[in-house]
Chains A and B, each alone.
Chain A
Amino acid sequence: MTTWLPLFVILPLAAGFLTPLAGRRPGESGGAARGLALLVGAVLLAGSIALLGSEPAVYWIGGWPGADRPSVGLSLVCDGLTQMLLVTVNAIAFCALLYSWSYIQRYTGRALYYCLFLLMLAGMNAVVLAGDLFNVFVFMEVAVICSYALVAFGVERAELEAAFKYVVLGSVSSLFVLLGIALIYNLTGQLNMALVAERLGALGTERGPAVWLAAGCFIMGFGLKAAMVPFHAWLPDAHPSAPAPISAMLSGVVIKAVGVYVVCRILFNVFGLNTPAGALYANVLIVLGTLSMVIGVFLAIGQWDFKRLLAYHSISQMGYVFLAVGVGAAVLATDGPRPIAALAIFGGLFHLVNHATFKSLLFLCSGSAEYAAGTRDLHELGGLKYTMPTTAGCCRVAALSIAGVPPFNGFWSKLIIVVATAMAGYWILAALAAFVSFMTLLSFLKVQRYALEGPPPERIRAIHETPVPMRLAMIGLATACVLLGVLVPLHRARLIDPATRTLTEPRLYVERFRPPDQPHMGTTWAAAVKELQP
């Protein structure tokens, strides 16, 4: 299995460059492009499911670290956290591609749409697989540059404005990430994350202030990609402006793969928590997570644009994930009871997977409503349960999931987060999380009331259900929402627990993925310069 790890990057990359060649003839309906994209999506989904539960593995590109070669190679790393993210990313991507099959036929430039979609997918798969900091940066840029173009895909005034805002803020955050990587490289002379972690551990208390600066750069840079308050301003414009399947990808997986995942990976596995700084990192995550959770939901409640409301809820739900992971980190950093830390992190990661399913589903439902009714203003919608029963049913499942109603998946993850937060001693935050969940319920009752219930307005009385591929994609995600909730005892051992362990036992990362020793290794840049000086 390890031999084929690069296929998660090769396949979408090659297919992405093939689609414009296949679909550039005038009059081409994009059939070849969409078939190829769906095939690649299916293969990647099957591959990522087959990978679940396998032993942690490392793949050295080009076969570089060997007995006789210096360890300068790039690695792809596949542990529990990566496996969980790969399944999530590829499952949502497959559903979005299935949905696009019909949805995107209303747009021109379909071959380019699939090209950008597949390149974005390649970028995200590579980010979660990358074993060194610089490749994380490069592929993060691949993913987000494609997403800039996809946000602007409608090329109307609002879309271009949203994309421009996203480009400017995204570029600034990328520069912060690059600065952070440069600082770490200067300090340790390494980019491989296992080696950086080892060198930082060896430096101990002599790390100096540069690590603090680097950590700040990473939290700001990746936090903006994850739309943490106060770096969230771009998201409510960018996510609703994209075509619906892209909104589902952006809110469902992009903010997680290039935001939450990288923050967790760097703070837990690279910087480590058993240092004086560990508690500070954890507190920053808790504060930003709580702020996102509360502010996001209050901004969401007043929205009347269906997709914009969903976008604000993404900020709020990401707050839950950061809060839970931060609580886990705080317990670990202060040598608290490990089961509580594990429970909190489990809740956070579980909520991450759940949010990917129900928020993608909600965006697809809003896309269906817009596809049929031509509007996403909640005032103008209504009675969809009569005219579009499948869409309305799926929307209801997703709304109940995000609002935390049992037995859907959102209930279990929020319950675990609230319980773990309370057990860790953060009573106020636990109460706040429960309160925000109630506000989410209120907000989605509004969606139910105005979009699904009531008599259909005159203008949209004659609309009918969307094409079959779009319905299939929504039904698939709705099934996932139910099954992830009901079958927690069955899937947690393969899906979430291995991911939780990579964060609760961060030292394992170094032991597993460190390249073999070489004579010249361990020289930092500063030491090398000192040797050269007379």
Chain B
Amino acid sequence: MNSGMSLIVKTVTRLVAGFITLFGIYIVLYGHVSPGGGFAGGAILAAGLILVLLAFGREATLRMMSHDGALAWDCGGALAFVLIAALGYLAGGFFVNFLSHGEPGQLNSAGMIPLLNAAIGAKVGAGLFGVFLALAVFRPGRHREDPS
């Protein structure tokens, strides 16, 4: 298979892509206790996928995450955010944080904020990747009426 970049790039990508994804998930999950959060972590997740796209080319990447898959994760993440926020109505109102707040500083704390972070992470990761995919798939074509 000749698509994508050189063997060196592919090998390095194979080594680091997993770690980048893992780091993205870490940033998302620790968003409520340390700097970072859904948007930052999602951007890192998208960066991991974009690295694979650059190194291995479009075909290989689309097998991991198709355009429809990106759209589904994107809309699903946003929908999950709205629904989690609306779940607050169970406890009295929109965005009411009704889950156990736990011990401050621990991973299991802050009620539904980590869930919201995860939803944002999915949305931003898939959304940014979808934008990049659209740019990679798009081929500038000549306009029909263009005489040149």
Residues of A within 8 A of B (CB): 3, 6, 10, 13-14, 17-18, 20-21, 24, 59-63, 115, 157
Contacts and interface: CB of A to CB of B under 8 A. Distances in A.
B79 A17 contact: yes
A115 B93 CA distance: 26
Interface of B: 68, 71-72, 75-76, 78-79, 82-83, 85-86, 88, 92-97, 143, 145
Nearest to B85: A10
Given A24-B71, A24-B72, A14 B79 contact: yes
A225 B145 CA distance: 33
Contacts of B93: 3, 59-63
Nearest to B145: A157
A59 B95 CA distance: 12
14 contacts: A3-B93, A10-B82, A10-B85, A10-B86, A14-B83, A14-B86, A17-B76, A18-B79, A21-B71, A21-B79, A24-B72, A63-B92, A63-B93, A115-B75
Contacts of B94: 6, 10, 59, 61-62
Given A6-B94, A61-B95, A62-B97, A20 B82 contact: no
Top 4 nearest A-B pairs (CB, nearest first) are A62-B95, A6-B94, A17-B79, A17-B78
A63 B85 CA distance: 12
Nearest to A21: B75
Provide the main secondary structure of the chain A interface.
helix
B123 to A, nearest CB: 9
A20 B86 contact: no
Given A10-B94, A17-B78, 6 more contacts: A3-B93, A13-B78, A17-B75, A20-B71, A63-B96, A157-B145
A123 to B, nearest CB: 14
B68 A24 contact: yes
A132 to B, nearest CB: 15
A141 B94 CA distance: 22
B115 to A, nearest CB: 15
Contacts of A10: 82, 85-86, 94
A60 B79 CA distance: 22
A14 B71 contact: no
Nearest to A157: B143
B23 to A, nearest CB: 27
Nearest to A62: B95
Contacts of B86: 10, 14
A17 B74 CA distance: 9
Q: Which of B68, B82, B97, B145 has the most CB of A within 10 A?
A: B82
A18 B79 CA distance: 7
Nearest to A20: B75
Contacts of B83: 14
Contacts of A17: 75-76, 78-79, 82
Nearest to A60: B93
